[in-house]
Amino acid sequence: MSSFNIQRYYEGEHFNELHTERDSLGNLHRLMAWMTYLNDVPGGGETHFEYFGLDVKPEKGKTLIWPAEWTHAHQGTPVTQGTKYVITGWLHFPPA
């Protein structure tokens, strides 16, 4: 199991599903999530945290760290200009 992913989103793309990082038995070991934006995105591509009304603009080198719980449900907004690159992963309990 990988503890990180590298993702690319072209114009019009985004991770639309409102989700949390700990929502099933398969990912109960996750404690925190993190994401680093690998480039500046000229338009769109924000990370939206639903319960905080917070939209974070993707800027190269900016790193977000948040709890894996339902309180930090989030989703991406569509990239309207450029391409978005991120690396994202989890801090978790080691396998038993």
26 sits in the region (left: phi over 0; alpha: psi -120 to 50; else beta) called alpha
Structurally, the chain folds into a number of domains equal to: 1
**What's the CATH number where 18 sits?**
2.60.120.620
User: What is the CA 42 to chain-centroid distance, rounded?
Assistant: 18
Does the pTM surpass 0.95? The reply is no
Q: Which domain holds residue 20?
A: 4-92
15-63 pLDDT tens trace: 999 999 999 998 889 999 999 999 999 999 999 999 999 999 999 999 9
User: What is the CA 16 to chain-centroid distance, rounded?
Assistant: 11
